[in-house]
């Protein structure tokens, strides 16, 4: 089953300095039929104005992944970590038993666009931790590149962030007509999100066309074929979930 969630049907929250679009129930948006997908609990598509951001605030018992799409994001937390992230970088924070952090746009001129994703950890009571990792954007062309994983065989210090859940997050970039394939193990599910461009999923049998910021929640498909359908390149995130 491939369930398509169009970008324009996401909840939109506007705060002047912050424009957010929620893929799952969050803050003032509540839909009992849209709480989570497997352990995936939050995907917020955020646009933060220059010199603005989220001040220090707490989190508990959640794995938080931040992918910066454009601009620059500055992180600080109660463990003393401080980092700046741009496109090509990943932040992973395990809130565990409790942590405070801030996420600010340090630029005085440019906005920052990012995706923040929350995942329920496989076990609770973890010690809080934070890490940054990076990937080569050029390596995404025509292949699925892991950027965050709970699978030890895929983890690479500094390149593939460690997450405390049985899941893996991939990125790929596809030229028009170019495809990648993914084998979906029985009993697992896939969340697909189009960052830029447009793609077709399993064209021919279950034709699904997704455009920029559309997503798909996929279950019961033994194999997925994702094909670039936009002129130029299309950028896609695929998350393999239990």
Sign of the C-alpha dihedral computed for residues 50, 52, 54 and 55 taken in this order: positive
Residues in the annotated binding site: 57, 59, 101, 103
Residues in the annotated binding site for Fe cation: 57, 59, 101, 103
Sign of the C-alpha dihedral computed for residues 115, 118, 122 and 128 taken in this order: positive
Supply 139's token pair: 């390596």
Give the bridge partners for 227, in sequence order.
179, 200
Supply 210's token pair: 């997704």
Rounded alpha-carbon distances, angstroms, from residue 37 to 11, 115, 167, 171: 17, 17, 12, 19
């Amino acid at each position: 089953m491939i369930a398509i969630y169009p970008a324009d049907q996401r909840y939109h929250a506007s705060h002047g300095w912050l424009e957010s679009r929620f893929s799952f129930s969050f803050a003032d948006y509540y839909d009992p039929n849209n709480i989570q997908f497997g352990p995936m609990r939050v995907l917020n598509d955020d646009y933060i104005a220059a010199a603005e951001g989220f001040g220090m605030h707490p989190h508990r018992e959640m794995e938080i992944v931040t992918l910066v799409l454009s601009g620059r994001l500055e992180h600080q937390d109660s463990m003393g970590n401080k980092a700046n992230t741009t496109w090509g970088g990943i932040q992973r924070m395990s809130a565990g038993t409790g942590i405070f952090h801030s996420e600010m746009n340090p630029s005085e001129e440019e906005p920052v666009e990012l995706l923040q994703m929350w995942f329920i950890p496989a076990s609770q009571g973890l010690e809080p931790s934070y890490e940054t990792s990076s990937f080569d954007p050029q390596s995404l062309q025509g292949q699925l590149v892991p950027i965050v994983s709970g699978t030890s065989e895929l983890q690479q210090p500094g390149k593939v962030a460690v997450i405390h859940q049985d899941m893996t997050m991939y990125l790929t970039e596809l030229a028009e007509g170019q495809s990648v394939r993914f084998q979906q193990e029985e009993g697992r599910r896939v969340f697909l999100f189009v960052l830029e461009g447009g793609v077709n999923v399993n064209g021919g049998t279950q034709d699904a066309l997704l455009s920029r910021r559309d997503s798909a929640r996929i279950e019961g498909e033994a194999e997925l074929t994702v094909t670039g359908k936009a002129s130029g390149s299309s950028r896609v995130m695929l998350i393999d979930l239990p």
